[in-house]
Structure 1
Amino acid sequence: MPEDSMPLQDLPCLSLQGSMLSQSKRVNKRKTRGCLGEGLDTECTPTELIQQWSPPHKHQRIITKGKENDSNQFVLARRSRRKKESTSGISWDHLPDELLLRILFYLPLHDLLRMSVVCKRWHRLVFDETLWHSVDLEGLTHMGPALQQVLKTGVRRLRCPRSFVEDLHFTGTGTLQITELDLSSSIIPTSALESIICRCRLLECLSLEGLQLSDTIISSLAKNPQLLQLNLSGCSGFSAPALSELLKSCSRIEQLNISWCNFNNNHVKSVVSNVSSSVTHLNLSGYRESLTLDDVKVLVARCPHIQTLDLSDSTLLMADCFPVLAQLKYLLHLSLSRCYHIHLAALTDLGKTFPMLCLLDVYGLVQDSHLPALKKETPRISINSRPFSSIARPTPANVLVGCFSDRVMWNRPCRLRIKL
């Protein structure tokens, strides 16, 4: 059998253990680098061939901390990425979203907005709806863009009274999550207000005091059956039928302030005939020539659970309204200020007529010189101690400006607020 066809183990001077090693040493002495054909002509082991035609090994760079340019040798050194990472503590990137949200919850509004530009993840977390549950924007100028951004966060409680909104192009189509909203005494276009109220279905407390409204806004409010407190004091621009629809639909209203609106006789009759029977606090003041004794009779028959009633500036009312009002067994606070046709003598018997009455406002009826005598006749009734009505108002008017209570909304502060 020829040598070139013999089995590998039968070849002379070649074995798997010793001869291959000795033969590779001889080959290495005369091996030279060349093309692939030259390498295949030489006698090499498979291992040597793999090593010969593999890419040359990269020489490890000399890395010396702080001594790269010593010994007249310029070396570019780069630390590995692993060395750059902190070896102690926990990275912010490793914290779960739930823990980061809990940390962000304690930051004020300014710091929260600054953190939103750190990275995409933090921007997403900063505008999570759990952080924007309650927001106070009072005092912020150019309210339009800020208000639009806050509405998109899913805010539940929003306070921005006495604000100026140039215009608002609210493009959202979904339902807003607002349950408490205070826009009292603000300057806001009716169209912008419509774009907000038309998307509200969960309102529980609302104050639009002093705003120009429309039938569209009133009809949209009728779609909030959970409404409990409504302040429309000083509002205008809506019709009596729209008001009737609102009061019929919102049958759970407990506090209603609808004083000093631009009303006629039809508006007043719509209120007394359709107001919820569950109302306990009602301000119907300011209707000098519109509110009559017959209207009071309808109101008392419809709402027997009234505890606070303000009929101030109703100049058509006289002392004959007291037997009618006496049917309100739970009446605690009665305001008859500037009802000039009620005589002082009729007020002295109020302690007997209203056994539950605690507060009485008769500004403009009783002169200061006669007030001590009236207080003596009614010792358990506090007279003229509440100059301003707080019915359905988010912030009572008698709270001093600058104190902590000045920034509350329906007895609760907002977490995020503008600090000027």
Structure 2
Amino acid sequence: MSNEGPLQEMPCMAQSLMGSMLSHSHRSGARKKRGYLEDMLDTENTPSDLVYQSSPRHKMPCVAHLPRGKENERQFVLARRSRRAKESISGLSWDQLPDELLLRIFFCLPLRDLLRAPSVCKRWHRLLSDQSLWHSLDLEGATLVGTAFERVMATGVRRLRCPRAFIGNMEFVRASPSQVFQMDLTNCTVATLTLESILEHCKMLQHLSLEGLQLSDRIIHHLSQNPDMVHLNLRGCSGFSPDPLGQMLKSFSRMEQLNISWCEFNTQHVKAVVMNLQPSVTHLNVSGYRQNLTLEDLKELVAGCPNIVTLDVSDSVYLTTDCIPTLAQLRSLAHLSLSRCYQIHTAALVDFSEKFPSLRRLDVFGLVSEGHESSLRKEMSHISINSSPISTVARPTPPYSDEPVMWNRRCRLRFDIEP
């Protein structure tokens, strides 16, 4: 058998042996050199399988310490414990929970956590877009700039409360109609064009408050596209004409409560109101029109809305004692406010118990002195005198209330300003 075969098959081993020979010192004796040569010759004459068996075995390096290469990465993946086995040890994971249970958990989260949660994973992002989570939202005092308000509406919110909020200039470009049916924008900071863009997409409104806002004829037209309107608060609004106002009121066949007091009205505005109110109106506030509301207007109002329960005509200085027989035609009248109607004599109030059998509250601030007020309370013990200094007609939140409610209901998600 030839001895050259094994060396040719293991060139690395041959090179290592040659290197070890050259590295020894020249001071070694001839005998020592001769011993090395003999060992070398013995090794060369040894079959290759014996050399392999006699050489020390190399320890396989730990997979974790291998350099990062494609081959090593495959080894690492093969060495990992399967996810199923890992989860079976650690217990139930979030991935195993059904969508219905996750939605129930998300339903208990506050607003700030609910806004952060979509960044966890794609599944959470999808589930957190469910409309059931955003049914009612309270953003009182919030700042909604850019497209923030549009994104809020895109959640499918049905009840939106954001009084005194700041809504920056934006163009509301939602293609589909909004689903909101209760909205409170009382005293918001919002441009008229922005408000037009928002209300253009609202067709399902039933309860709306725009108190203190600058409106336009286009906004009034958009409001008339909501035939199911029940409560409307336009107290202190301005910027719209009598004709669009009359057309809007004529379209509200289900209207129950209307607060249209202290607007920038002239005589034509007042006539547009009293001539176009629907018989369904039961609570009405038309106070603050001083010389613009006359007895003839009041007669028109009573004839068109015979079922009124609450009526506020305060600060109408043209109303005199002659208006009392007209008001007495309202057989369901339970709350009447004549505050600061200075031409109504105090003596005419004495027999109100007989003329208004259903009356339970009477506000006559500025008409009677304290002494006369106490005598009225004695004579009309079943009527509460001057118990309502601020009207609650169509207002979403009762005056002096600390509860953040909107038409007697709280919103589930509430924006809290951080200190």
Query: 1:76: which partner in 2?
Result: 63
Tell me how far apart the structure 2 counterparts of residues 220 and 141 of structure 1 sit (CA, whole Å).
Answer: 25
TM-score with structure 1 setting the length: 0.80
Equivalent residue for 1:278, pick from 277, 280, 291: 280
What's 1:120 paired with?
122
Greater mean alpha carbon deviation, residues 139-148 or residues 358-367:
139-148
Q: 1:163 corresponds to which residue? A: 165
Aligned residue type for 1:102: R
Calculate the aligned-residue CA RMSD, in Å. 1.6
Q: How far did residue 243 of structure 1 move?
A: 0.5
Aligned with 2:408 (options 407, 411, 414): 411
Q: Distance in 1 between matches of 2:340 and 2:390?
A: 14
Q: Which residue of 1 aligns with 2:225?
A: 223
**Residue correspondences, number:** 346
Instruction: Give the deviation of 1:396 after TM superposition.
Output: 1.2
* Matched position secondary structure for 2:190: coil
Quickly say closer, same or farther: Cα 1:370–1:237, change in 2 above 3 A.
same
One-letter amino acid matched to 1:328: L
Give the superposition deviation at 1:98.
2.0
Instruction: Give the stretch that moved more between structures: 253-262 or 77-86.
Output: 77-86
Using the TM superposition, give the Cα deviation of residue 370 of structure 1 relative to its aligned residue in structure 2, in angstroms.
Answer: 1.8
Aligned partner of 2:318 in structure 1 is: 316
Quick one: which of 208, 211, 235 aligns to 1:209? 211
Q: For 2:81 and 2:164, locate their aligned partners in 1 and report how far apart those are by CA, in whole Å.
A: 54
Which letter maps to 2:87?
A: S
Q: Distance in 1 between matches of 2:371 and 2:147?
A: 55
CA deviation after TM superposition for structure 1 residue 94, in Å: 2.3
Residues 51-66 of structure 1 aligned to structure 2 (within 5 Å): none
1:85 equivalent to 2:86? Answer: yes
SS at 2:132 equivalent? coil
Q: What letter matches 1:410 in structure 2?
A: W
Q: Which is further off, 367-376 or 337-346?
A: 367-376
Q: Deviations over 1:83-128 (max 9, x none)?
A: 5731143222222222211111111101111111101221121121
Which sits farther off after the overlay, 363-372 or 229-238?
363-372
Q: 1:378: which partner in 2?
A: 380
Which region of structure 1 is more displaced relative to structure 2, 126-135 or 368-377?
368-377
1:313-392 aligned at under 5 Å gives the runs 313-392=315-394
Q: Distance in 2 between the 1:233 and 1:334 partners?
A: 18
For 2:177, the equivalent position in structure 1 comes to 175
State the Cα deviation string for residues 104-163 of structure 1 (Å, max 9, x = none).
Answer: 111110111111110122112112111000000112234554322111111100000011
Deviations 1:160-206 (A, max 9, x none): 00111121232211100010000001110011101110101100000
Aligned to 2:24: none
Deviation at 1:74, TM superposition (A): 3.0
Q: Which moved more, 1:344-353 or 1:308-317?
A: 344-353
Deviations, residues 18-72 of structure 1 (Å, cap 9, x unaligned): xxxxxxxxxxxxxxxxxxxxxxxxxxxxxxxxxxxxxxxxxxxxxxxxxxxxx97
Gaps of 5+ in 1: 1-70
Find the aligned partners of 2:300 and 2:400 in 1 and give their Cα distance: 31
Partner SS, residue 230 of structure 1: strand
Aligned counterparts of 1:171 and 1:85: Cα–Cα separation in 2: 48
Identity of aligned residues (%): 57
SS across alignment from 2:119: coil
Secondary structure (helix, strand or coil) at the match of 2:123 reads: helix
1:81 shift after superposition: 4.4
Q: Deviations over 1:210-249 (max 9, x none)?
A: 0000111101111101100000000001111000110111
Match of residue 291 from structure 2: 289
Q: One-letter code of the match for 2:414?
A: R
Unaligned runs of 5+ in 2: 1-57, 65-75
**SS at the partner of 2:232?**
strand
Alignment match of 2:252 (pick from 250, 253, 258): 250
Distance 1:151 1:346, change over 3 A: same
| Contact kept? 1:143, 1:163, Cα under 8 Å | no
Structure 1 stretch displaced more, 360-369 or 71-80: 71-80
